[in-house]
Amino acid sequence: MSYSSIVDGVILTITRHADYSCSTVKRDDMRGLGQGTARYVNITFGGVAREDISFAAVNFNWNVLIDVHTRYTGELPTTSTDAMNNMQNILDTLDVWPKLSDTTGVGRFSIANITPIEPMNPDNRNGFVKQQLGLLVEETVCPTRNE
């Protein structure tokens, strides 16, 4: 398994079950913010921790950062409500699909953190507000050993 497999599982779960299209959930790609969409998700690498749990098994704890962008609608209270609803939709989806749509090797995940909605720049009325979800995904791998 790899980070790519984990991210693919996150993307698949969000697009398949959280009512997002493939064009609005991307890995390391901010270009979608300029395409007129009302919401956009960008997924980035947040780090990894590796732990040998036995000679035959290794745990990887992948930190996946999910940036949930919501377009500013003209009023900050409305935009904030939309942003919170978008984040809750993703959280609810992840709760229902804890193995990330049966991604091989995924044992469980936990929510590491959720940032507050970033303040809106008053000069950027057509922009987005952002919240970030830190997802910690545990994967167990049984590597081939040569010792």
- Can you give the pLDDT at residue 15? 92
Mean pLDDT of 87-98: 90
Distances (CA, A) of 4 to 10, 11, 57: 10, 10, 20
**Which tens digit of pLDDT belongs to each residue from 37-80?**
899 999 999 999 999 988 888 889 999 999 999 998 878 889 88
CATH classification of 3-141 is 3.40.50.720, yes or no?
Answer: no
The residues that bridge with 109 in the sheet, in sequence order, are 137
Strands 39-54 and 25-27: parallel
86 φ/ψ angles, rounded to the nearest 5 degrees: -65, -45
| pTM of the shown model | 0.87
Instruction: Encode pLDDT of 119-146 as tens digits.
Output: 666 666 558 889 999 999 988 888 777 7
End-to-end CA distance of the chain: give it in Å, rounded: 21
pLDDT in tens, 94-121: 888 877 867 777 778 888 899 998 866 6
